[in-house]
């Protein structure tokens, strides 16, 4: 009986004290009235029922007033777990049956959804890039990564108002097809023929794909380029062979963007797998970053493109305040998403030159692609510094292959 009362009563009271003492909002007078109402509540109601009623009242107040960019969000997320809720605030974040998180469709992401005219402009932009690449003797391929909700993944109940950008991506691919821009729709490949299960394509606490999905995407893209376009990238399949890589699991080690919005108690943690080659190449790397400027590295994979220090454990639950440090494991690849990166493979002077136009999804893929190319240049089109005009860049540089790997919300048309 004591345990039941403890779980029903103590958490909302502790949460109330911390909320009032945390200065996130000024609820002291209202909190006092709530405490009085709780102590003087209807005698016919049990102590547990009165505690739950107080918790629900507190949830109503917190969802309206608590600032989500403060540490108090974790306590608020814990309150949602206590109440058995799968929605944070006014559908800011929605939680599926298996713990997957997504934005609600009422308020989040309105600026991410294009209309048909905007998608047509985007498709026309990449048609122009494709024609420029062809003029210089190269090939441009648009690669579409998976989005949540993932096809055949029953994580979210029918009718739950989640942000589904798959119809927008379908519209874009329709216009790319109309404009004769070649594309690979990875939503149709990564789970097919014994591939990854749907729940391992994207992190539960983020909309980024997992490292396993990024590696599988690399293998699919290379295979598609060889089969459909006769590109000789990996003729003996060495670089696509999983036996030539190590897969090191880090259980409950990663918490993504949606986890930071909702707090680790509501979101939980994700398993992270560090995938690295067991063979050695020598690279020279130049990274242009708005914060750090020019970063130069030379040496083997561990000195240039894989950053072991990003895999140092830390406690996600006790972080104060909540910061982006929990994104740190994803920075194992190239240390971060940079404005522009040039990777030269000194061991493959006769390989192709590849341009990779991408967002955060492209970072691990660039590391897997680097051994196949004599030079790999990555560009983040949404960065504000160090980013060349892509049309002019393709006109003045010779690339054998240009890959566009962007999610819907990262698309640009100029």
- Average pLDDT across each block of 10 residues of the chain; the chain has 414 residues. List them in order: 46 49 40 47 59 57 42 56 61 82 63 76 96 95 94 75 88 96 94 82 94 97 94 95 96 86 80 95 94 92 93 59 57 93 94 96 97 97 90 95 93 66
Residue with tokens 């599926």: 96
Give the orientation angle of helix 362-369 with respect to helix 211-229, to 10 degrees.
Answer: 60
Buried residues in 100-127 as b, exposed as e (16+ CB within 10 A): bbbbbbeebbeeeebeeeebbebbbbbb
H/E stretch holding 273? strand 270-277
For residue 174, the model assigns a pLDDT of 96
Strand partners, 162: 104
Which 3 state secondary structure label does DSSP give 121?
helix
> Rounded distance, CA 200 to CA 185, Å?
17
Which residues 6+ apart lie within 8 Å of 1 measured at CB? none
**In whole angstroms, what is the distance from residue 210 CA to residue 329 CA?**
11
Q: Give the span between the Cα atoms of 176 and 183, in whole angstroms.
A: 8
Rounded distance, CA 333 to CA 305, Å? 6
Pairing of strands 183-185, 375-379: unpaired
By C-alpha distance, which of 161, 162, 1, 14 is closest to 79? 14
How far is the C-alpha of 340 from the C-alpha of 137, rounded, in Å? 23
Q: How far apart are CA 78 and CA 18, in angstroms?
A: 13
Which phi-psi region, left, alpha or beta, contains residue 268 (left: φ > 0; alpha: ψ -120 to 50)? Answer: left
Which residues does 126 contact at the CB level (< 8 Å), separation at least 6?
140, 142, 176, 179, 181, 404
**C-alpha–C-alpha distance, residues 108 and 93, integer Å:** 9
Name the packing angle between helices 166-178 and 116-135 (round to 10°): 50
- List CB contacts of 95: < 8 A, sequence separation 6 or more: 86, 87, 88, 101, 262, 266, 267
pLDDT at residue 52, rounded to an integer = 61
């Amino acid at each position: 009986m004591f345990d039941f009362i403890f779980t029903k009563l103590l958490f909302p009271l502790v949460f109330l004290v911390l909320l009032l003492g945390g200065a996130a909002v000024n609820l002291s007078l209202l909190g006092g009235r709530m405490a009085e109402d709780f102590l003087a509540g209807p005698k016919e109601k049990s102590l547990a029922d009165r505690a739950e009623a107080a918790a629900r009242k507190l949830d109503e107040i917190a969802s309206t007033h608590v600032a989500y960019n403060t540490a108090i969000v974790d306590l608020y997320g814990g309150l949602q777990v206590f109440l058995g809720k799968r929605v944070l605030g006014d559908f800011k974040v929605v939680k599926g049956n298996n713990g997957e998180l997504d934005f609600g469709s009422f308020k989040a992401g309105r600026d991410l959804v294009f209309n048909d005219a905007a998608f047509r402009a985007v498709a026309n932009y990449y048609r122009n890039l494709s024609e420029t690449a062809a003029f210089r003797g190269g090939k441009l391929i648009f690669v579409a990564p998976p989005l949540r909700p993932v096809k055949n993944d029953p994580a979210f109940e029918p009718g739950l108002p989640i942000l589904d950008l798959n119809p927008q991506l379908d519209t874009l691919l329709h216009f790319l097809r109309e404009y004769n821009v070649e594309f690979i729709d990875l939503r149709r490949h990564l789970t097919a023929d014994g591939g990854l299960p749907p729940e391992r394509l994207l992190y539960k606490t983020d909309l980024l794909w997992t490292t396993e999905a990024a590696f599988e995407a690399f293998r699919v893209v290379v295979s598609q380029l060889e089969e459909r376009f006769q590109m000789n990238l990996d003729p003996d399949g060495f670089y696509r062979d999983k036996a030539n890589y190590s897969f090191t699991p880090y259980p409950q080690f990663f918490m993504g963007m949606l986890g930071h919005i909702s707090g680790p108690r509501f979101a939980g943690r994700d398993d992270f797998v560090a995938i690295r080659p067991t063979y050695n190449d020598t690279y020279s790397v130049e990274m242009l970053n708005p914060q750090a400027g020019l970063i130069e590295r030379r040496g083997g994979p561990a000195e240039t493109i894989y950053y072991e220090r990003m895999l140092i454990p830390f406690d996600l639950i006790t972080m104060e305040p909540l910061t982006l440090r929990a994104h740190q494991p994803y920075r194992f690849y190239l240390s971060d998403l940079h404005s522009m990166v040039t990777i030269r493979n000194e061991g493959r002077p006769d390989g192709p030159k590849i341009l990779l136009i991408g967002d955060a999804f492209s970072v691990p893929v660039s590391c897997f692609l680097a051994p196949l190319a004599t030079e790999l240049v990555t560009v983040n089109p949404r960065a504000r510094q160090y980013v060349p005009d892509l049309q002019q860049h393709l006109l003045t540089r010779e690339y054998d292959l240009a890959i566009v790997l962007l999610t819907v919300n990262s698309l640009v048309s100029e």
